[in-house]
Amino acid sequence: VVDDSLLHYRSLHRFIESGEWNDAKAFMNRDETAMFSTSSSGRTILHVAVIAGHEEIVKKLVKEGKDKLVKMKDKRGYTALALVAELTGNTDIAKCMVEKKGGQVIGQELLSMKNNDGEIPVLLAAAKGH
């Protein structure tokens, strides 16, 4: 059985994956809950954006989704920051999730959030040589 909400939000996740911010924004304007929707693996649009390497979209989502979106975990317990740490090592994307303008760190909690295996983002990055 496929959850209808998964089908409904699939196009939003595709817009984000392909970097189509205007289409994604229009979708989210029509549906207030869309920003916090998840895929069958529990990934949010922020997870999708960081995997795709869309730094500008990540910045916009972090700003609009505030703390709630950056702290959401997928089914493996990974925040978007943990995925950046393990999969891409993109420090620019990682920084935009944990720093405010002026370099003040706001993501101390985010940096210490463990995945289902008890790993934090810094350990994930180090294990991959990032």
Write the single-letter amino acid at 34.
A
- Give me the phi and psi of 105, to 5 degrees please: -75, 125
Query: Residue 121 is encoded by which pair of tokens?
Result: 């983002």
d(CA 113, CA 94): 14
Question: Domain extents for the chain?
Answer: 4-127
Give the angle subtended at the CA of 63 by the CAs of 62 and 68, to the nearest 5°: 55
Query: Domain 4-127 is in which class?
Result: mainly alpha
Give residue 1's pLDDT. Answer: 40
pTM for this predicted structure:
0.87
Q: pLDDT tens per residue, the chain (130 residues)?
A: 445 566 789 999 999 999 999 999 999 999 989 999 999 899 999 999 999 999 999 999 988 887 889 899 999 999 999 999 988 888 899 888 887 545 555 667 788 899 999 998 887 877 777 6
Per-residue pLDDT, 65 = 83
- In the chain, count of helices (H) and strands (E)? 8, 0
pLDDT recorded at residue 106: 61
Q: What pLDDT does 105 receive?
A: 56
